[in-house]
Amino acid sequence: MNSRKYLASLLGLLCILTVGALTASRADALEITRFDADRVNDLSPGTDLTFRLEGTPQARATVTVSGIRQPITLRETDTGVYEGSYTIRSGDRLANNPDVRATLRQGDRTTSAMLAEPLGTMAQGPARRSTQGQGRAGRPQIYRFTMEPNRIEPGTELAFTLEGTPNATATFNIRNLARDLPMTEVQSGVYEGRYTVRQRDAFSANNVTATLEANGQVERTQLAAQMGPGNAPMGSSRQAAGFPLEFTAPRNMAEVHRGPVEVKGRSAPNLPLNVHVEASNPLSGFIGGKQSILSSTVTTDDNGNFSFSFDPPAITVPGTRYEVSVSGNQAGQDKNKQLTLVQR
């Protein structure tokens, strides 16, 4: 009789342990049952991205997007339902079809899922586009070549991004300054390279070109062709026909006094301009004819205004002429403006 009671108790204990193990196993199952995003027309700065995830409740949900440095946190708005949004910033560098991954964490357990569809409605990232022609080895293609920030000033680190055929060799050149600077393929078909502007560098977007080499063939593009309004493609010179470039102060042949001379002007908004100033002394034997005073780059503000200053030589001679030259390029069109000032 006692043995029967013992056996019954043992069987009951085994049932309790089995049920507990099954319950714990179900509790340990961390999963994402759904992950999607609101598709957008483009991935430019200012665009809102919205994500939704469904899975194990009471966990921590985040989304990582290639080209955005920090993860995006999702908040649990209902049991097992997580939502969050992010506004694209000017410093973000998103490809046409970035990788988007959701991660769910609970304690020391983690699970993740990739977004099945592209974020953009018109997205055809380099990897997606290249698969259409993988069956034949053809000429490499360049889809986009950009620079950030959009200003060229001494000490600024410029980041160049090229999108095109994947698994190729990409380089960029700055005319008269640097050749064949390597670009690294940071993700499929997206290449990055960097250059820090030095004190005496003077160049504009028109001086920067990129080269993509694959299958024994080479494709090239010019940065200036994509630096106009709306990243205008090459050949849109009609858009640049009204591209202004003029001096607003001082007037041509104006007399200047000793000390710094300030020059002001107007051009297209956010446009890099090359600036050169030479002094031409009437007494060529006294100082030495023409003398370079300034060689630099300035960028117009959002309204198209620009200004810069130069210092006359330590020894000034009345009648010295300062030849001021400003040049720029927009959408493949070059413009140059001259101003002459006279030392009083």
Beta strand 60-65 pairing with 72-78: antiparallel
Sign of the C-alpha dihedral computed for residues 94, 147, 217 and 214 taken in this order: negative
User: Rounded distance, CA 337 to CA 306, Å?
Assistant: 13
Asked if residue 286 and residue 265 are part of one domain, the reply reads: yes
pLDDT score recorded for residue 246: 87
Residue that has been written with the tokens 């899975």 in this structure: 55
pLDDT score recorded for residue 318: 86
Asked if residue 339 and residue 245 are part of one domain, the reply reads: yes
In the chain, what percentage of residues exceed pLDDT 90? 17
Domain end position, chosen among 166, 192, 227: 227
Residue that has been written with the tokens 């000017």 in this structure: 90
Whether residue 322 lies inside any domain: the answer is: yes
Q: Please, are residues 239 and 331 in contact by the beta-carbon 8 Å criterion?
A: yes
Whether residue 59 lies inside any domain: the answer is: yes
Residue 307 has pLDDT above 50, yes or no: yes
Q: Is the peptide bond before 312 cis (omega within 30 degrees of 0)?
A: no
Asked if residue 321 and residue 273 are part of one domain, the reply reads: yes
Asked if residue 101 and residue 135 are part of one domain, the reply reads: no
Q: Please, are residues 80 and 60 in contact by the beta-carbon 8 Å criterion?
A: no
**323: amino acid identity, one letter:** E
Q: Please, are residues 165 and 202 in contact by the beta-carbon 8 Å criterion?
A: no
Q: Please, are residues 272 and 306 in contact by the beta-carbon 8 Å criterion?
A: no
Domain end position, chosen among 81, 114, 147: 114
Q: Please, are residues 84 and 74 in contact by the beta-carbon 8 Å criterion?
A: yes
Whether residue 251 lies inside any domain: the answer is: yes
What is the DSSP-derived secondary structure letter of residue 58?
A: S
Domain count, the chain: 3
pLDDT score recorded for residue 194: 93
User: Rounded distance, CA 47 to CA 24, Å?
Assistant: 43
Please give the average per-residue pLDDT across 129-146, as a whole number.
61
Look at residues 222, 186, 302, 230 and name the one whose alpha carbon lies nearest to residue 42. Answer: 230
Q: Which of 13-17, 68-72, 247-251 has the lowest mean pLDDT?
A: 13-17
Could you give the C-alpha distances from 306 to 155, 263, 277, in angstroms and in order? 19, 8, 16
pLDDT score recorded for residue 18: 52
pLDDT score recorded for residue 228: 43
Please give the average per-residue pLDDT across 294-319, as a whole number.
86
Whether residue 27 lies inside any domain: the answer is: no
**14: amino acid identity, one letter:** L
Asked if residue 108 and residue 130 are part of one domain, the reply reads: no
pLDDT score recorded for residue 195: 92
Query: Which CATH number do you get for residue 195?
Result: 2.60.40.10
Q: Which of 28-42, 123-137, 171-185 has the lowest mean pLDDT?
A: 123-137
Please give the average per-residue pLDDT across 219-245, as a whole number.
52
Asked if residue 219 and residue 156 are part of one domain, the reply reads: yes
Q: Please, are residues 288 and 256 in contact by the beta-carbon 8 Å criterion?
A: no
Q: Which helix (H) or strand (E) holds 21?
A: helix 2-28
Please give the average per-residue pLDDT across 151-167, as a whole number.
87
Please give the average per-residue pLDDT across 151-165, as a whole number.
87
Would you place residue 238 in the very low, low, confident or very high pLDDT band (cuts 50, 70, 90)? very low
Whether residue 3 lies inside any domain: the answer is: no
Proportion of the chain in helix, strand, coil states, percent, rounded to 5: 15, 45, 40
According to the 3-state scheme, what is the secondary structure of 52-89? EEEECCCCEEEEEECCCCCCEEEEEEECCEEEEEEECC
Whether residue 120 lies inside any domain: the answer is: no
Asked if residue 302 and residue 332 are part of one domain, the reply reads: yes
Residue 334 has pLDDT above 80, yes or no: no
Residue 124 has pLDDT above 60, yes or no: no
Residue 82 has pLDDT above 90, yes or no: yes
pLDDT score recorded for residue 317: 83
User: Which one is predicted more confidently, 182 or 99?
Assistant: 182
Residue 131 has pLDDT above 50, yes or no: no
pLDDT score recorded for residue 139: 75
Whether residue 167 lies inside any domain: the answer is: yes
Whether residue 232 lies inside any domain: the answer is: no
pLDDT score recorded for residue 135: 36
Write down the mean pLDDT value for the chain: 78
Asked if residue 140 and residue 110 are part of one domain, the reply reads: no
Residue 79 has pLDDT above 80, yes or no: yes
Domain end position, chosen among 114, 147, 164: 114
Would you place residue 76 in the very low, low, confident or very high pLDDT band (cuts 50, 70, 90)? very high
DSSP-based three-state secondary structure for 260? coil
What is the DSSP-derived secondary structure letter of residue 40?
A: B
Asked if residue 99 and residue 70 are part of one domain, the reply reads: yes
Beta strand 72-78 pairing with 81-87: antiparallel
Q: Which of 13-22, 23-32, 166-175, 200-209 has the lowest mean pLDDT?
A: 13-22
Asked if residue 108 and residue 41 are part of one domain, the reply reads: yes
Looking at the chain, how many residues does it have? Answer: 344
pLDDT score recorded for residue 287: 46
Residue 24 has pLDDT above 60, yes or no: no
Residue that has been written with the tokens 């290639």 in this structure: 66
Helix count (H) and strand count (E) of the chain? 3, 22
As given in the structure block, the two tokens for residue 267 are 């051009």
Query: Which CATH number do you get for residue 58?
Result: 2.60.40
pLDDT score recorded for residue 237: 34
User: Which one is predicted more confidently, 33 or 15?
Assistant: 33
User: Which one is predicted more confidently, 331 or 260?
Assistant: 260
User: Which one is predicted more confidently, 261 or 287?
Assistant: 261
In which domain, by residue range, is 289 found? Answer: 241-343
User: Rounded distance, CA 9 to CA 312, Å?
Assistant: 104
